[in-house]
A and B are shown apart, each in its own frame.
Chain A
Amino acid sequence: MRKLVYAAIILLALAHQDFWWWNDIHPLVFGFIPVGLAYQALVSILAALLWWAATRYCWPRGVDDDGFATGE
């Protein structure tokens, strides 16, 4: 699961480049947000979801007990 979460984060970073709507204004999301901007807002939402997954499945070992990072 750990590797999957990190792989998804890397994938999101690649998808951030927006290969699909680089030079498009339309469709206007909600009738006023150009698609290029809406896509990047979606990237922000997905980032929050993936970092939530990271805090759940990739939490660093040892940092909670005595304040010592075990340097995984």
Chain B
Amino acid sequence: MNPGQTAVVIIAGYLGLLLVLGLLSNRFFRGTATDYFLASRGIGSFLLLMSLFGTTMTAFALVGSTGESFKRGIGVYGQMASWSGIIHSACFFLVGIKLWSLGKRHGYVTQIQFFRDRFESDKLGLLLFPVLVGLVVPYLLIGVIGAGTVVSGITRGAFPALFPATGGAVPYALGSGVICLVVLLYVFFGGVRGTAWANAFQTIVFIVLGLVTFLLIAENLGGVRAATQAVIEQNPSRLKRQVAPADEAVYAERLAAAAAEGDVAAVKPAKPVGISQLEFFTYLFIPLSVGMFPHIFQHWLTAKTARSFRLAVVAHPLLIMLVWVPCVLVGVWATQVLGPDTPANQVLPRMVARMTSPVLGGLLTAGILAAIMSSLDSQFLCVGSIFTNDIVGHYLGHDRLSDRSRLYTGRIFVVVIVLVTYLISLNNKLPVFPLGVWTFTGFASLFPLVFAALYWKRATKAGAYAAVLTTAVTWFWLFRDAEWGRNREYHFHGVMPVVVTVLATSVALIIVSLATRPPKAETLSRFFAR
């Protein structure tokens, strides 16, 4: 059995285990739509932490962080991870607990139901629906693209006779298709309880295996100290955030040496890349997206009590650190192993394939897939839930759909969404990191809406419309200006596009709200203290 085949066997075993778990959770299924979408609001502290963490950590966290630190250095941790530690917990604490509370009181299942009630507008849902779903689909793509890339990367040379066109690797389309199918099966049968169980299991798997990967790669590079020392000598700019003239000099010197060696040069040096202070700071807006992710909203509503949030609020920054620090270090160490032209998405799979044994390589790949699938499942389910409860249930069915019909409709939509996402992913293999940043930018832009809905009585229906429309227009305009995400260095006058979209949305919300009639006292009494 060659190393690629060993990886395939291990990955298949892992996927089988997940399916068993999904089917087991189905034994606790109560057969109602509320149980399918919200686990009867009975998820405790530990499962809630694992669900929230597993859902927020996608291919973006493992594949994306390693690839981005390979390309741009350690600054990526401060940009994304430590900001997320502060801001995600803020969202759980300031937004999540209140939404859970209101959701329980008024029986909400989706975000759109909450916004419709709070802003006294039935039609608001029709505006929010395409915006939310339009932003979730690229987020789903991140997972599917990550899964297909990882599987094909690790199985290179596995079946040369069967897949000669890919050098023996399991083709991207087959790898991502199988992952989609497994997630679909356990979501279909287990609903949100199935995803919570699977997320808990998968989160533990990817944390443990991520740490093992880190240690094995470090050992292969002569130990952690030697690995970092080599980067200091060859690519020092990757270990800080600013490019100094000395770094340029080291780069020129190494480049000349590599050119002299010609084809025998082991690895060409990486061009120094810095991060500006302003860009670093403005990344703070990106994690605000968590406050508006529809799949996170759905997980919030599954909580048993408000106190169930405590563990998630406190432990989330620590778990982020546990996952991101090793990934960022592996990314910068990889500059000594892989050529600078290596695609960002391929950095982690190639390091795993090169630096570990076939068995461990297979296990570690399973860990990466675990991180990806633990987000995909929640996203598939939430889109199914939005279609079922908001579109079919409310707008088409006028809230007269029976519980059983809602359950079946939800399952049908989950199948459709998985299929559509998979088909789109076949022709759009964009790098994970920029795709993620643009998706997060869209959701973060809507954060002022949810915050105002919870904390500002004066926020009105017209203000809400203005906010959603402003988000849609500014996001689309900037995305187009950034060549549809292809311009990775795109900034708007030196700041992240998210700053522009968040500020524009906030201004539109505030001005239009103040200029229009306040919400009815009766409405406010349902959402605010008397």
Q: Which residues of A contact B (CB under 8 A)?
A: 9, 12-13, 16-18, 22-25, 28, 30-34, 36-37, 40-41, 43-45, 47-48, 51-52, 54-55, 58, 60, 62-64, 66-72
On whether the beta carbons of A43 and B241 are closer than 8 Å, the reply is no
- Do the beta carbons of B310 and A55 come within 8 Å of each other? yes
B420 at the interface (CB under 8 A from A): no
8 contacts between A and B (CB under 8 A): A9-B86, A22-B277, A32-B227, A33-B329, A34-B239, A36-B75, A47-B82, A51-B316
If over half of B's interface residues share one DSSP class (helix, strand or loop), that class is named, otherwise mixed; here it is helix
Q: Smallest CB–CB gap between A41 and chain B, Å?
A: 5
What interface size band does chain B fall in? 35 or more
Inter-subunit contact A32/B529 (CB<8 Å): no
Closest 6 CB pairs of A and B: A67-B104, A71-B528, A70-B529, A44-B321, A69-B98, A32-B224
Knowing A23-B240, A23-B241, A48-B85, the reply to whether A55 touches B277 (Cβ < 8 A) is no
Which residues B259-309 have CB closer than 8 A to chain A? Answer: 277, 280-281, 284, 305-307, 309
> Cα distance A62–B530 when bound, in Å?
12
Choice from A31, A33, A47, A58 contacting B86 with Cβ under 8 Å: A47
Most buried by A among B86, B98, B328, B527: B86
In contact, B82 and A44 (Cβ under 8 angstroms):
yes
The minimal Cβ–Cβ distance linking A71 to chain B, given in whole angstroms, is 4
Known: A47-B85, A47-B89. 6 other contacts (CB 8 A): A17-B281, A23-B241, A25-B236, A45-B318, A69-B101, A69-B527
Contact with A along B219-246 (1 / 0, CB 8 A): 0000011011000100010011110100
B451 within 8 A of A: no
Q: Does B320 contact A (CB under 8 A)?
A: yes
CB distance from A9 to the nearest CB of B (A): 7
The verdict on A68 contacting B78 (CB below 8 Å), with A23-B244, A51-B314, A63-B97 known, is no
Which residue in chain B gives the minimum CB-CB distance to A13?
Answer: B86
Check if B325 is an interface residue, CB within 8 A of chain A: yes
- Chain B residues with a Cβ under 8 A of chain A: 74-75, 77-78, 81-83, 85-86, 89-90, 93, 97-98, 100-102, 104-105, 224-225, 227-228, 232, 236, 239-242, 244, 277, 280-281, 284, 305-307, 309-310, 313-318, 320-321, 325, 328-329, 454-455, 527-529
CB within 8 Å for A54 and B529 given contacts A25-B232, A36-B74: no
Q: Could you tell me the distance in whole angstroms from the C-beta of B87 to the nearest C-beta in chain A?
A: 8
Q: Which residues of B contact A25 (CB under 8 A)?
A: 232, 236, 239-240
In angstroms, Cα B101 to Cα A9, docked, is 24
CB pair A31–B320 under 8 Å, yes or no, is no
Q: Which of B77, B240, B306, B316 contacts A63 (CB 8 A)?
A: B306
List the B side residues contacting A72 at CB < 8 Å: 529
Task: Tell me the smallest distance from the CB of B528 to a CB of chain A, in Å.
Answer: 4
Given A34-B239, A45-B317, A51-B314; A68-B105 close (CB under 8 Å):
yes
Cβ-closest chain B residue relative to A19: B277
Residue of A nearest to B232 (CB): A25
* A13, B86: Cα distance in complex, Å: 7
- In the complex, what distance in Å separates the CA atom of A28 from the CA atom of B225? 9
Q: Which chain B residues border A47 with CB–CB below 8 Å?
A: 82, 85-86, 89, 317
B227 to chain A, nearest CB (A): 7
Name the B residues within 8 Å of A64 (CB-CB): 305-307
The interface residues of chain B lying within 8 Å CB-to-CB of A40 are 77-78, 81-82
The answer to whether B313 and A36 have CB atoms under 8 Å apart is no
Q: How far is the CB of A24 from chain B (nearest CB, A)?
A: 6
Residues of A within 8 A of B105 (CB): 66-68
B39 CB, nearest partner CB in chain A, Å: 16
Q: Which residues of B contact A22 (CB under 8 A)?
A: 240-242, 277
User: B240 touching A36 by the CB < 8 A rule?
Assistant: yes
The distance in angstroms between the C-alpha atoms of A39 and B455, with both chains bound, is 33
B102–A69 contact, CB under 8 A?
yes
Is A51 within 8 A of B317, CB to CB? Answer: yes
- Find the A residue at minimum CB distance from B41: A67
B79: nearest residue on chain A (CB-CB)? A40
Q: Which residue of B lies closest to A18 (CB)?
A: B78
Complex Cα distance, B84 from A41, in Å, reads 12
CA distance in complex: A16, B316 (Å):
17
- Given A34-B74, A43-B86: A54 touches B313 (CB 8 Å cut-off): yes
Shortest distance from the beta carbon of A11 to any chain B beta carbon, whole Å = 11
Q: List chain A residues, Cβ under 8 A from B317.
A: 44-45, 47-48, 51
Please indicate the chain A residues that have their CB under 8 angstroms from the CB of B277 in the complex.
Answer: 17, 22
- B319 CB to nearest chain A CB (Å): 9
